[in-house]
Structure 1
């Protein structure tokens, strides 16, 4: 885990080397700089948007910083200079980065959820490792998921050739198998990468999906990663075995947000590069968008969203006070698939041998995760773990 940052910035503001140098008391505030991508616009429909038909979403527009440039410059070349200009003009406490966030291609857990339906998946099947024909613990990519990653690779090739798009200088990926494979297929071959910036991604525990009791969130060991992807670098302190998933408790939304802020603090203070790639998950990308003040924009499997992020160090006196919850025990049907799925219910299920609906999560219960939960047809939950007094960043207005 990256330690909490409690400092004020004295940033070395260089167009091509933009990180925050820290000294003193303060916190980092993140915001989305809108007006550059279609995904920033409320009128863009996430459910029908196709990044491969829209230049990754970059809006065709002029920038004051590129006035007078030759017409031969592509839109991405102009945008690159716009970002350079923003960093060059930024004060000592501000930096801008462009983050390409890619969701993994379809995994076998996605296929299984589509097969069983979301209520039955959440209430029963997701807690198993498979059903005899499909296996979804730390799920691998399906053939469709591999194709989605190949589409991303082909589109990067096209944008490099046609648009001269700036390539990421740093690559980060979740440690889950579906993300490792997606990142490797997308960037690992066939791209004309700068010789000094090869594809050597850093595997970051913080980039994993929200931690639930679903076995698809239970990662494999570090040895699998190093043996399968020898050019991938495990971040310092990466554990051989998954010490975060236990199959009993789930990460709260506020804890997931805190984790994403810690991730961003790490990247914005330790990585000098402006152009960054994250390969991650739907829930984690959604949470990153939340904490940087971006509108909700749910990615399909294999989807990509670029975002221009502004980071500012602000005085500690301005830091908000926010309670971060711990992990909670989760409910599911122990005796088999639910007897009934009811879409109008929050949990969507009535378990076998009972007429009562599965209760909502995040309510109080008389047992803790290290005790034996009552093995009737359902259980309720209790909050466990520590709470924290302050987040490392302010939530944007209207959050």
Structure 2
């Protein structure tokens, strides 16, 4: 049933109902008006979906291993070719000069202006409690862990080398850094963003990063945040917000490349970043014995996305930049019901996201046990 508007009232009177005498018309009408008003208030309080507060979500995250799901989250198609199932991702280059990040309307000179108008119209024509955001989510450039996995192959990487921090030549743990190729990939992204900003691509209003160094460094080299300084969209703040968020890190556990450094160490290397409220100095999540499964990761990423829709820093923003990891991007696509789309190191995928509050928050399904280290090939 659509509860966004009241059902029509039935004005037919039963045959046995007595009409009020002429002298009591005013009293009768006042009582009828009051009854309608009370019914309307009850209807709104019972049926209208309510947008939860950030306080509700924070309390929930702090008091449960299975955070409540406040929203139905989905991606909207019709804007980017990455949304369309008939498109073949092979050979697609997100930063090609003619791709416009995959915008379907990529040939129009005013393509990004029209895109912004479409997003504004989308929000204007939606119920007040339904929210929309455009998320540009990027994958970090190549890290030394990616280089090591390519060197030894995925089976040997997962069962043996990922637990180490080095092979004597490459160092990938803890908290793998960008390789020279990874830095070059971030500079390619910088060139693409500079080009599209000249064509009026929406400038992200906030920049959010995983706490792992390779993601932060990629975001800083890409440098989109520099364009926000003194930009007309940011005249009310002295500098762009660059926020490090714990829940946007790669699958937690087993791999030393995914063990983050302390908050203090991150601050020393990247003094321009801020940290979300409650960010712990030490990595309290990583463990050498277990690793998150995809199901567990999806719960975490859904909670992270929920927080973006509700946190006071981001709830009223439309355009969001996130820099994270392949696992995070794959999880986000699953959470949103988006088609799978591979993202190369240094790549990015834009998403138009809708959040519709649930009438009653629900718990996610039981995530089951964590993963353990796979066995190595017999030949090892």
Higher helix share: 2
Pick from 281, 284, 294 the counterpart of residue 240 of structure 1: 281
Cα distance between partner residues in 1 of 2:137 and 2:149: 23
Alignment correspondent of 1:291: 335
Alignment correspondent of 2:323: 279
Cα distance between partner residues in 1 of 2:160 and 2:55: 47
Pick from 246, 249, 259 the counterpart of residue 208 of structure 1: 249
Quick check: 1:56 aligned with 2:56? no
Q: Report which of the two structures shows the higher radius of gyration computed on alpha carbons.
A: 2
Cα distance between partner residues in 2 of 1:253 and 1:351: 28
Cα distance between partner residues in 1 of 2:191 and 2:106: 25
**Distance verdict in 2 for CA 1:278–1:85, change over 3 Å:** same
Q: Which deviations, in whole Å up to 9, do the C-alpha atoms of 1:342-399 show, x marking residues without a partner?
A: xxxxxxx2264xxxxxxxxxxxxxxxxxxxxxxxxxxxxxxxxxxxxxxxxxxxxxxx
Cα distance between partner residues in 2 of 1:321 and 1:237: 23
The correspondence of residues 323-334 of structure 1 with structure 2, limited to 5 A, is 323-333=366-376
Between 1:26-35 and 1:195-204, the stretch displaced more is 195-204
**Which secondary structure state, in structure 1, belongs to the residue aligned with residue 305 of structure 2?**
helix
The correspondence of residues 1-399 of structure 1 with structure 2, limited to 5 A, is 10=50, 27-53=70-96, 54-60=99-105, 74-137=110-173, 138-161=175-198, 163-187=199-223, 191=227, 193=229, 194=231, 195-196=234-235, 198-270=239-311, 271=314, 272-316=316-360, 319=362, 322-333=365-376, 349-350=377-378, 352=380
Extract unaligned runs of 5+ from structure 1. 1-7, 12-18, 63-70, 334-348, 353-399
**Distance verdict in 2 for CA 1:351–1:38, change over 3 Å:** same
Cα distance between partner residues in 2 of 1:56 and 1:26: 31
**Distance verdict in 2 for CA 1:45–1:298, change over 3 Å:** same
RCO (CA 8 Å, sep 6+): is it higher in 1 or 2? 2
Cα distance between partner residues in 2 of 1:222 and 1:26: 28
Extract unaligned runs of 5+ from structure 2. 1-47, 58-67
TM-score normalised per structure 1: 0.73
Cα distance between partner residues in 1 of 2:339 and 2:82: 8
How many residue pairs get aligned? The number is 313
**Which secondary structure state, in structure 2, belongs to the residue aligned with residue 28 of structure 1?**
strand
- Offset at residue 26 of structure 1 (A): 7.8
| Contact 2:80/2:103, CA 8 A, preserved across alignment | yes
